Chains A and B, each alone.
Chain A
Amino acid sequence: AQSVTQLDSQVPVFEEAPVELRCNYSSSVSVYLFWYVQYPNQGLQLLLKYLSGSTLVKGINGFEAEFNKSQTSFHLRKPSVHISDTAEYFCAVSESSSSASKIIFGSGTRLSIRP
């Protein structure tokens, strides 16, 4: 079975500063990895996903993430954040080879941007 650990429940940063949200996963099989963003009282929006190939994945809104198989990590980064990036961010994992696969979500990291 897979699991996801988001190491920080809250990350405060200043506007225009860089940010990294950490994510580690556990799985005995090959995986897909995802980052979702959730704004208050809204559903989840996909930021980016790793399926295969290049370990550096670029997503929407200037975010990127790097898949590190040896460290079982998939950290999310942005070089310069904006007030509008204030939201909850969820890392998620699923098996890549099963028709019955489901997405397992981490507990989330709340990103707060200070002006």
Chain B
Amino acid sequence: EAEVAQSPRYKITEKSQAVAFWCDPISGHATLYWYRQILGQGPELLVQFQDESVVDDSQLPKDRFSAERLKGVDSTLKIQPAELGDSAMYLCASSPGTYFVHEQYFGPGTRLTVT
């Protein structure tokens, strides 16, 4: 069964350092989502891609967060510099297209701890 892959699974970094997360969606899925899940809360959408284009990044803190999906396949989410409040689970998901929000599949997530 096809799955969304994410790495690393766990990351510990010091504040003010840079950190990056990688996501490989299910093959053929045109839409890719990055979510942030703070402990005790539900996931919140950070950025949505359709192929290589950003569809929605209204909740992405652009002063320190960036995301790219250069060839419309895998994607990288970067934080620079990291702050203590960035400690959270970062989830990647994919779907066949923007009309297929109901066919969204999630990866295992990256647990970030900022010290």
Contacts and interface: CB of A to CB of B under 8 A. Distances in A.
Interface stretch (A61-69, A76-84, A96-104): A96-104
B102 A107 contact: no
Interface size class, chain A: 20 to 34
Contacts of A113: none
Contacts of B4: 43
A41 B102 CA distance: 23
A44 B102 contact: no
A45 B111 contact: no
B108 interface: yes
Contact of B42 (A43, A94, A106): A106
Contacts, number: 56
Nearest to A108: B42
A94 to B, nearest CB: 5
Contacts of B99: 99
Contact of A94 (B40, B56, B101): B101
Interface in A37-96: 41-46, 49, 51, 90, 92, 94
30 contacts: A32-B101, A32-B102, A34-B102, A36-B106, A41-B9, A41-B89, A41-B109, A41-B111, A42-B108, A42-B109, A43-B4, A43-B91, A43-B106, A43-B108, A43-B109, A44-B43, A44-B91, A46-B105, A92-B42, A94-B102, A99-B98, A100-B56, A101-B101, A102-B56, A102-B101, A103-B45, A103-B101, A105-B43, A107-B40, A108-B41
